[in-house]
Structure 1
Amino acid sequence: MADDKAAAADSERGLFLPGTARPLAPPAPVPADMPEQRPQLPAFIAFWRGVPTAISRDAARGGTFLCLPVLLGAGVAAYFALPWEPEALPLVLSLCLLLAVTFLSRDRRILPFISGAVLLILAGALLGKLETWRSSTPMMGSDVTTRITGRLVSLEHQASGRLRLTIDIVATERPRLRYPPARVRLSARAVPEGLAAGDGITGLASLMSPSGPVRPGAYDFSFSSYFNGIGAVGFFLSNPERAAVAADDGVTAGPARWLQAAREGLAARIRHAVPGAEGQVAAAMIVGMRAGIPEPINEWLRRSGLAHILAISGLHMALVAATVMAMARAGAALFPQFAQRVPVKKYAAGAALAFCTLYLFFSGSAVAAQRSYIMLAVMLAALLFDRAAITMRNLAIAALIIIIISPHEVVGPSFQMSFAATAALIAAYAGWTDWRMGRRERGRVPPAGLARNLLRTVLVFAAGLAATSVIAGLATTLFGAWHFQRASPLALPANLAAMPLVSLVAMPAAVLAIFAMPFGLDGFFLSIMGRAIAAVIAIAEWISDRSPIDAVGLMPLPAFLLLTVAFVVAVLSTTRARLLAAPLAVVGFGLLVARELPAVLISEDGRLMGVRTADGGLAVNRARPNGFTMDDWTRALNAKMVVKPLVAGKTAAPEMKSRQFSCVNGLCLIDNPAGHLIAHAENAAAAKPVCETASLIVVDDATASNLCSGSKALVFTKRDLALRGSAAVWLAGPGEARTEFAQAISQPYRPWHTQRQYWRAARGLPPYRRKTGQDQ
């Protein structure tokens, strides 16, 4: 009986004895208020179902505002990437239509967000259109030699010993230009003693139209010149002289002349106190004059990842502000009663803002400096109003201001790299702060103690410096690879070794030198700055000599766009939605790995060709190719070396080779690894013999027409290249349908390329030759 009662009790509890049948327990009653349990979903499906909720949380945390500069910037970039110039009226009408749709659909769930996003993209495109119209820079239509008379705007000393002058044109003669450029940039061997900004100058000068990209997708000199107001470049054929010109009576002319003279005087004082290359670097860091830095030092800094110390950007502005604030707060600490009565931190922020404003003007007010100043001004203003200084919202405000003021900067490397680095650092700092607060809530705070706290401070500083270098370096690598096709593999150790010298010695010494300059005591501080710079240059040289090749090759546009979107999602999101960046990054890297580099690059003047060889070299058809072009091409094609041509004597035909061009009698030939014969000819007559055998022919003759008609050869004449710019060619491989090519300039022309249609080569004319006495 007892056993039966125990078995019954076990049965009620759901237990059973071995060897016995398990009893069926009655189902437990379900409370009426208990929610229905759903089957657990796989993690992947559960994640995707939670994405809309995560996005809503990001929007509630201010993510909507952070998207404003992103969408506006996307619209600006789309406008400048268009192959034609859009009309303003359709843009305005589309903007008004979308504005109405967004307003009328405000009660819907998804439609307002979609229409609002497209509205912002169109607004960005309209901003780009407005800036293009506002610039309207008159560009030089063709190369010409004329005597110019103008007003000096700025004067820079170059490392080669020459001088670079920016001049506002007042008059031209012999010949008198009907449509002269308003501002030109010329080089000269020497200038009159004491020449300063605002003085008149005259001389015989060779004026040239700004060139296009050296390859499709490269830096566009015409684009940059158009938005900088430079209509022509060139050089003086003889040393210029002083000239009497009417004074510029504009409101800002007098202050601008005084400021430029002060900058040049300050640069001269720095170079006198710190002779050599160190003084040139110091002048670049203080007044923004970089032209005098020797090219080997520039290359050491680029290869080591330290070139950012030369551009006056967020780093310099932040160091100047930090130095001024530290000095102000340390000075206030000497008077305890004063420091207790007043908000010293706000006064220090105000002093830092005032000094950074002065630094902005004396550094030349370059666009990078303007952007950095706006970012810093927003953060210091936040301190003045008791708000958090380093936030993603403040960064978004600074980006909005810059996009509205200077939209074309959105597509430049400076804008993209500085904002990418700052956004990544803010996101990382926010994550670290959340982790640290959570650690404190869990009670994992180390005990206090002088030695322990001192050691912790040193370790935190070193770890912070390393983390800053890693985060900023990774964030800017994408944009550096896209714009410059290079990445610095040893940037981390270089920055760890050099940045303490810049942050703790060079820039504080520069600030103290400025304060001491009115008393004539700046030489001591400038000498300290020079020694710190000398150590930085030594580090850069040592790292550069041991760095592997830093070229990464061309990045496909789809890969760049996907990786950029992945980066934006990762740094702006604060929820699990940031995981959406992972598949985008994977696809972007996949496209990068699967890329196909061009087989041939052709310069826009038709004189230079570069062909990839089987051993990873770049074969060129000229014994002395342009250095800037070669540097760009070798990085773009990831080439290990440049192979000069074999120039034989005048024989019947050149000997074809697969590793280098063989040039004879105006015809250069090379057989590329895929078996294609590639030719460069000086004129149509030299090209005729290879019309039936060559796959690609470049003719350095603008008068050539209907060349090799009926053959399968792809032919570029000098006129074709003058009209549509440099070219990249992907030669058809075995089993492929046809050869593909791309050119740098699209037609109809954008405003910064319209001058090309007036080039002599674009009109099918031979080079201009001055008539001699026999010709007359």
Structure 2
Amino acid sequence: MGGEETSYSDERRQFHGDRDLLAAVSGISGQPSQNRRLPSIPIYGLFLDRDRVKARIGRTFDAERDQGTQFLFLPVLLGIGALVYFAWPYEPSLLGVLVVASLFGVAAWRLRRHPLLKMLAAALLVVSLGALLGKVETGLKRTKIIGSEITTRLTGRVDRVEHQASGRVRLTLEVLATERPVLRYSPDRVRVTARALPEGVGPGDVVQGVVRLIPPSGPVRPNSYDFAFQSYFTGIGAIGFFLGNPVLAERSWPSLSVDAQARAKIELLRQKMAERIISVVGGPEGAIAAALITGIRAGIPEEINDALRVVGLYHVISISGLHMALVGGTLMVTLRCLFALWPAFATRWPVKKFAAVLALAASAFYLLISGADVAAQRSFLMLAVMLLAVVFDRAALTMRNLAISAIIILVISPHEVAGPSFQMSFAATAALVAAYAAWSRRRKSRRSHGTGVKGRTAVGRGVRNLISAAAALAMTSVIAGSATAIFSAWHFQHVSPLGLLANLAAMPIVSVVVMPMAVLASVLMPLGWDGLPLYAMGEGIAAMNAIATQLAQHSFLDSTGAISTFAVLLLASGLALLTMAQTSLRYAATIPMITGVIVLLASNPIPDVLVSEDARLVGVKTSDGAVAVNNPRPRGFTIENWQRALKATNVLKPTHEKAAAMKGEFQCDELYCSAKHWTGAIITYTASDDIARAACGESTVLIIADATILNPCVDGLTLVLTSRDLALNGAAEIRLPREPNAPAKLRQAINLPLRPWHDHRRYSRAARGLAEYKGEPSRSRPLPSTAPKDADQ
């Protein structure tokens, strides 16, 4: 639904108070193009005359080609290719990918006289190019990730400092040296936490201390977020924590390169700005204000984060297209108003272009001080394309500009296509662009037929504008929320039932008060005049927090449980066709979307048992909707993820009562834990060889928490998972049999052979079948993790 391009000023009049990147950049406009009305295909009579149907379909595809729809699908096809590469069961060779791309290129050229076959070959060529981009990015990264937990004395240069709400400090360090022991395969960068830092330590300084380094984990269950994948592409080779407070080794600014000094100065500026904001605003509001301006989110209390997530307002915290648009839009409107004060200058020079260039420069500065995370980079690219369109007298808000932004991002960072941020951002933006284009065409049609309302009084027009603004904000939330709901359910097993109400209440405050005051405070901060705008910003954030907290207390169940991958693919393909097709071809999107809904409702991908990759935690879904665990102190992130995936209402801790196993809970003693599922299946957890042998044939599932013990069961009736299996293949999900003597079905998060971002797993002691080092916690019985809570990923 791209259709006729309209200027931004027209869009703004139609949708006042829009919270999205597309309408928040006030003042962007371009020259509307005069596109002809697109043909449509009537439904009746399609199957009566084959030639007639063929001719109409041909005209429809010709109209799509004339409107440039093929270009709009380029990022979609590139993204599909990148996803295919990252999901491939083994690492393909670069030569193989090049050969496949070449074959499709030759096929497209040879089939140039057969339009449909040529289009298919060209689409497959673009898909193969997307896979090639993923392969090239993977080969260029070569991030070194440690294979096992290890304690060493580390010397590192501080790259980033983040003060957390718990009082600890998280450091991103460039590793300079290790000793006692010297790591033969040392990571280049690590992320570690400390209780406190020496006075005055900041970016660019060198610190030393004894650290416990831990490899980044894989998914906590199949199809879950993969920390190792993200760490590989962000260059983080280990996480961990200081065993004592680090000490300052040297202030190495003079020895840094010019580029390193520039990065350190930017980080130091971010840190000082965050400290200034937090000191002036104070409390949770100060932490959120610092996050909105500097991108440092570590200091936000977890209860506020949870409330914002529950009601669908957490997107306010991340540096996204909304923030970039509000920063650029606020400055652009302000500059155009200032230029208007000098009519002689404004009438002789293209002040709109001047304002766009200055807004782009300000947005680039905002990108730097916000930390330049990948999500912020993506948002800046989207805004930059639109502002540059204004400079070159092109329409700013079009699907073509969105496609250009997506192509740039996919070329630079193709791995982002696998992440929720990329998928949700572009899904929402594409849906809003398409909806705005359709509404614009409808408005123009009504005006051309003279059906618009005329003769209203000033009061009537004001009331109508207020109603229109509220309706615009509501529709923006509905459209964006609907487009992103499937991805939110897939990645987080979470939807926000009160998201529309929360956004209607909070987003006007964010758009009108919080972000404009953030821009003003940033401008006035060097002069020391930022107190008043920061105070106003804090009051706006306090109002947003109050809305989120109140609604979160009344929010009903928002967990969707694990959903079908096939259903997600069908719904996503339908969304792409619906938003990008320019003619009645968009109605074809109903086929994959209806099919996707049917698959979503008919499938039941929720497993019965989940096992963590370190073999320390087992979760079993009980008949009353809870999840029973074998560990009295399960890791918070893991159990929360499992609760959402299993759609579990609460967590049942293990007990020593002998009847507990019959109720679905884990009954544990010094040597083993056991639970009985409502299907009658028995799940046994142990690190004892003797108990493992005794459980063969008696237990449906046996988890052996000792890498030195091999599978003792030879009858094939018991599904056995050892620590070695889990160390290599990652976390597991199990479906228990519903019929007697039927086997349990196992699926694990990682396939063999290992891909580059998982290759470090084969070097762990458990993966090599070795026992743990002496002095480490024994796994002969369930024990809580000894790492600090904030060392969890």
TM-based fold match above 0.5: yes
Matched, 1:724 2:732: no
CA distance in 2, matches of 1:188, 1:290: 17
Other structure's SS at 2:662 match: coil
Give yes or no for contact 1:158–1:292 (8 Å, CA) kept in 2: yes
Q: Which residue of 2 aligns with 1:647?
A: 656
Give yes or no for contact 1:317–1:373 (8 Å, CA) kept in 2: yes
Give yes or no for contact 1:654–1:663 (8 Å, CA) kept in 2: no
CA distance in 2, matches of 1:748, 1:556: 25
Instruction: Give the letter aligned to residue 365 of structure 2.
Output: L
CA distance in 2, matches of 1:258, 1:71: 40
Alpha carbons of structure 1 residues 418 and 736: separation in structure 2 relative to 1, 3 Å = farther
Q: Which residue of 2 aligns with 1:76?
A: 82
Give yes or no for contact 1:150–1:169 (8 Å, CA) kept in 2: yes
Matched, 1:514 2:518: no
From 696, 704, 707, the equivalent of 1:702 is 707
Structure index of larger Rg: 1
From 724, 728, 744, the equivalent of 1:739 is 744
Give yes or no for contact 2:144–2:187 (8 Å, CA) kept in 1: yes
Q: Which residue of 1 aligns with 2:13?
A: none
CA distance in 2, matches of 1:45, 1:273: 74
Instruction: Give the letter aligned to residue 663 of structure 1.
Output: C
Identify unmatched segments of 5+ residues in structure 2: 1-42, 777-793
How many angstroms does 1:337 deviate by? 3.0
Which gives a bigger RCO, structure 1 or 2 (Cα 8 Å, sep 6+)?
A: 2
Instruction: Give the letter aligned to residue 443 of structure 2.
Output: R
From 587, 611, 614, the equivalent of 2:620 is 611
Alpha carbons of structure 1 residues 40 and 171: separation in structure 2 relative to 1, 3 Å = closer
CA distance in 1, matches of 2:48, 2:707: 61
From 446, 453, 456, the equivalent of 1:439 is 446
CA distance in 2, matches of 1:526, 1:462: 27
From 164, 175, 181, the equivalent of 1:158 is 164
From 121, 124, 131, the equivalent of 1:118 is 124
Q: Give the alignment of 1:369-388 within 5 angstroms.
A: 369-388=376-395
Q: Which residue of 1 aligns with 2:480?
A: 472
CA distance in 2, matches of 1:42, 1:571: 24
CA distance in 2, matches of 1:517, 1:194: 21
Q: Which residue of 2 aligns with 1:6?
A: none
Q: Give the alignment of 1:273-422 within 5 angstroms.
A: 273-422=280-429
Q: Identity, % of aligned pairs?
A: 48
Q: Which residue of 1 aligns with 2:246?
A: 240
CA distance in 1, matches of 2:672, 2:458: 78
How many angstroms does 1:664 deviate by? 2.4
Give yes or no for contact 1:150–1:245 (8 Å, CA) kept in 2: no
Q: Which residue of 1 aligns with 2:110?
A: 104
- CA deviation map 1:702-733 (0-9, x unaligned): 11113122251001011110011000011111
Give yes or no for contact 1:127–1:407 (8 Å, CA) kept in 2: yes
Identify unmatched segments of 5+ residues in structure 1: 1-38, 772-776
How many angstroms does 1:43 deviate by? 7.3
- CA deviation map 1:134-171 (0-9, x unaligned): 11001112111010111110100011100000111111
Instruction: Give the letter aligned to residue 277 of structure 2.
Output: I
Instruction: Give the letter aligned to residue 185 of structure 2.
Output: Y
How many angstroms does 1:736 deviate by? 8.7
Give yes or no for contact 1:654–1:668 (8 Å, CA) kept in 2: no
From 514, 530, 533, the equivalent of 1:525 is 533
Other structure's SS at 1:444 match: coil
CA distance in 1, matches of 2:329, 2:271: 26
Q: How large is the RMSD of aligned CA atoms in angstroms? A: 1.8
CA distance in 1, matches of 2:46, 2:111: 36
Alpha carbons of structure 1 residues 738 and 45: separation in structure 2 relative to 1, 3 Å = farther
How many angstroms does 1:622 deviate by? 1.4
Of residues 236-245 and 655-664 in structure 1, the stretch that sits farther from structure 2 once superposed is 655-664
Matched, 1:216 2:225: no
Other structure's SS at 2:471 match: helix
Other structure's SS at 2:106 match: helix
How many angstroms does 1:584 deviate by? 0.8
Matched, 1:767 2:772: yes
Give yes or no for contact 1:618–1:634 (8 Å, CA) kept in 2: yes
Q: Give the alignment of 1:451-466 within 5 angstroms.
A: 451-466=459-474
Matched, 1:574 2:589: no
CA distance in 2, matches of 1:696, 1:45: 60
How many angstroms does 1:644 deviate by? 1.3
CA distance in 2, matches of 1:245, 1:136: 29
Q: Which residue of 1 aligns with 2:490?
A: 482
CA distance in 1, matches of 2:593, 2:216: 37
CA distance in 1, matches of 2:181, 2:68: 61
- CA deviation map 1:530-555 (0-9, x unaligned): 00000100100011111111110111
Other structure's SS at 2:771 match: coil
Q: Which residue of 2 aligns with 1:227?
A: 233
CA distance in 1, matches of 2:223, 2:371: 29
Other structure's SS at 1:86 match: coil
Q: Which residue of 1 aligns with 2:643?
A: 634
CA distance in 2, matches of 1:737, 1:432: 56
Q: Which residue of 2 aligns with 1:17?
A: none
Q: Which residue of 1 aligns with 2:36?
A: none
CA distance in 1, matches of 2:90, 2:512: 50
Matched, 1:620 2:624: no
Instruction: Give the letter aligned to residue 626 of structure 1.
Output: R
From 144, 149, 171, the equivalent of 1:143 is 149
- CA deviation map 1:314-343 (0-9, x unaligned): 000111111111111222222333322222
How many angstroms does 1:44 deviate by? 9.6
- CA deviation map 1:613-655 (0-9, x unaligned): 111111111111111011100101111111112224xxxx776
CA distance in 2, matches of 1:52, 1:610: 55
Of residues 552-561 and 486-495 in structure 1, the stretch that sits farther from structure 2 once superposed is 552-561
How many angstroms does 1:349 deviate by? 1.3
How many angstroms does 1:40 deviate by? 7.3
Other structure's SS at 1:702 match: coil
How many angstroms does 1:178 deviate by? 1.0
Other structure's SS at 2:181 match: coil
From 540, 543, 548, the equivalent of 2:548 is 540
Q: Which residue of 2 aligns with 1:34?
A: none
Give yes or no for contact 2:205–2:252 (8 Å, CA) kept in 1: no
CA distance in 1, matches of 2:656, 2:53: 64
- CA deviation map 1:477-505 (0-9, x unaligned): 11111111100000000000000010000
